[in-house]
């Protein structure tokens, strides 16, 4: 329900325009419960996946493309292993899907979760993918029963999250809150 609400906020219905994949190909390449990410592109397919493994070099390249400093790959692997949910946004290619977006969250798995490391490669920024990734992440967390979601974000992107209904922490620096109904 929350996913459709966010898509409707773009003022268009992408359901007839978004290319699709056969279910068996979608699951084989991207794993169980992978889903198509609606887009305005008529020739590119984008896929959300919580189970397709990440190539650490490709993930690091994505994160560096948005201006983050390099992190030791062993630590990144451990962070991914200890995350509740990891979501990749992939531009589909039958031979070599490309990672174009990423987000992960940590938490207790019952009551609270914190979203970290949200990134969309610059080529696909300002096309609605960041918002769709956040909607997908929130929907995934709500499905697990999480009632409180926090988000850590750099000051330069706070306006992006505020436009989605996130509330800034009291000092207004880097943390936003969202409460599930």
Domain ranges of the chain: 2-147
The predicted pLDDT at position 4 comes to 30
The pLDDT score that the predictor gives to residue 11 is: 39
Counting Cβ atoms within 10 Å, is residue 83 exposed (0-12), middle (13-18) or buried (19+)? middle
**In this predicted structure, what is the pLDDT of residue 158?**
83
How far is residue 109's CA from residue 141's CA, in Å, rounded to a whole number? 9
Residue among 105, 124, 126, 121 at smallest CA distance from 61: 121
pLDDT in tens, the chain (181 residues): 122 333 333 334 444 456 788 999 999 999 998 999 998 888 899 999 999 999 999 999 999 999 988 999 999 999 999 999 999 999 999 999 999 999 999 999 999 999 999 999 999 999 999 999 999 999 999 999 998 898 888 878 888 988 888 887 766 555 665 554 4
Is 84 strand, coil or helix?
Answer: coil
Give the pLDDT confidence score for residue 7 in this predicted structure: 35
**pTM metric for this prediction:** 0.84
Instruction: State phi, psi for 87 to the nearest 5 degrees.
Output: -125, 130
| Per-residue model confidence (pLDDT) at position 147 | 82
59 vs 65: CA distance, rounded Å: 10
Report the candidate in 181, 178, 33, 32 with the shortest Cα–Cα distance to residue 113.
Answer: 178
Q: Give the three-class secondary structure for 13.
A: coil
Per-residue tokens: 69: 């400093």
The residue with tokens 């798995």 is: 109
Q: What is the pLDDT of residue 180?
A: 47
Q: What pLDDT is attached to residue 157?
A: 86
Cα-Cα end-to-end distance for the chain: 12
User: In the prediction, which pLDDT does 40 show?
Assistant: 86
CATH code for the structural domain at 2-147: 3.40.630.30
**Contact between residue 48 and residue 7 where contact means Cβ atoms under 8 Å apart:** no
The catalytic residue positions are 161
Res 87: pLDDT? 98
> Quick one: pLDDT at residue 167?
81
Q: Any idea how long the chain is? A: 181
* Cα angle for residues 149, 48, 35 (degrees, 5° grid): 110
In DSSP terms, 98 is beta-bridged to 91
């Amino acid at each position: 329900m929350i996913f459709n609400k966010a898509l409707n906020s773009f003022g268009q219905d992408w359901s007839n325009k978004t290319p699709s994949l056969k279910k068996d190909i979608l699951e084989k390449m991207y794993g169980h419960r992978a889903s198509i990410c609606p887009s305005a592109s008529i020739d590119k397919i984008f896929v959300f996946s919580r189970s397709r493994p990440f190539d650490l070099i490709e993930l690091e390249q994505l994160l560096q493309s948005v201006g983050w400093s390099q992190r030791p790959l062993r630590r990144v692997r451990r962070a991914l292993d200890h995350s509740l949910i990891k979501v990749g946004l992939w531009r589909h290619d039958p031979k070599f899907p490309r990672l174009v977006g990423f987000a992960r969250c940590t938490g207790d798995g019952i009551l609270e979760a914190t979203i970290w490391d949200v990134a969309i490669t610059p080529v696909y920024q300002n096309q609605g993918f960041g918002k769709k990734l956040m909607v997908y992440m929130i929907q995934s967390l709500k499905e697990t029963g999480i009632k409180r979601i926090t988000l850590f974000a750099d000051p330069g992107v706070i306006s992006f999250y505020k436009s989605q209904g996130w509330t800034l922490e009291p000092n207004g620096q880097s943390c936003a809150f969202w409460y599930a109904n």
